[in-house]
Amino acid sequence: MKTSVSTHKLPGYGSTLRTAKRLTEQAVKLVNRSVPGRMPDVEVVLTNERGMAELIVAADIALAGAADRRALKRATQGAKRAAREVQATAIPRPDGSTLILIDADKHPTPADFAVTLVHELVHAMQFSRKGVLERIVRNTRDALGIERQSRRQAREHERLVELDENEAHSREYLAEQLVPGARAA
C-alpha cells in the first residue's frame, strides 16, 4: 500500500501540502485498522474546483475504458456539477488503486481536512471489497452512455452507495484522533 499526496493547479499551498501529507500518513494507518477491507494504493490530490472537474473527467474516462465525443461531453458536464457540489471525492482506478480529490479551498482548517480525508479513505477501503469495483464501472459506463445497465442494477447501486455513505459518515469520528477537536458537521 503506497500513498502519495500532491497538488494540481494549486500554486502557493506549500504549508497546506505539508499538513496534508502528515495527516494522510496518519489517517491511512488509522482507517486501515478500523475499517474492514484492504487499503489500496492511494493518491490524494489537493486542487481547486476547476482542477477537480478536470481530474474527475480523466478518472471517469479511464474507469469506463472507452470514450467517444458524447461520453466525454457527459463526463465533463457531470464532473463540473460534482466539483461544485462536493468537498472531495474518491474514485477507484482500473488498476485497483484509488484517487482521492480534495478541494483545498473548501477546507479552511486541518480539522475540516481530517474529517474529509477519513471519510474518503473509508470509501477507498470499500472499493477493495468484492464486486464493488465492477458495480462502479458498470454505473460509470451507464452514466456516460457507453453501456446501459438494467433498472434493477441501477436501484441496487443507489442502495449500496447509500450504505457506503452511511458507513463513511459513521467513521468520521476517527478524525478526532488525528486533529483534536475535529468533528463532522
Residue at 183 is within a domain: no
pTM: 0.95
Residue at 185 is within a domain: no
Instruction: List pLDDT tens digits, range 5-45.
Output: 999 999 888 999 999 999 999 999 999 999 999 999 999 99
Residue at 184 is within a domain: no
Cα angle at 149 between 146 and 155, to 5 degrees? 135
Task: Compute the radius of gyration of the chain from its Cα atoms.
Answer: 16
Strand partners, 92: 98
Instruction: List pLDDT tens digits, range 86-103.
Output: 999 999 999 999 999 999
Spatial CB neighbours of 43, under 8 Å, sequence gap ≥ 6: 3, 4, 5, 6, 97, 98, 99, 100
Instruction: List pLDDT tens digits, range 41-84.
Output: 999 999 999 999 999 999 999 999 877 899 999 999 999 999 99
Query: Is 32 exposed, middle or buried (CB count within 10 Å of its CB: 0-12, 13-18, 19+)?
Result: middle
Which residue type does 80 have? K
Residue at 160 is within a domain: yes
Residue at 110 is within a domain: yes
Residue at 93 is within a domain: yes
The whole domain housing 93 covers 3-178
Residue at 121 is within a domain: yes
For residue 72, give the C-alpha cell. Answer: 466525454
Q: How many domains does the chain have?
A: 1
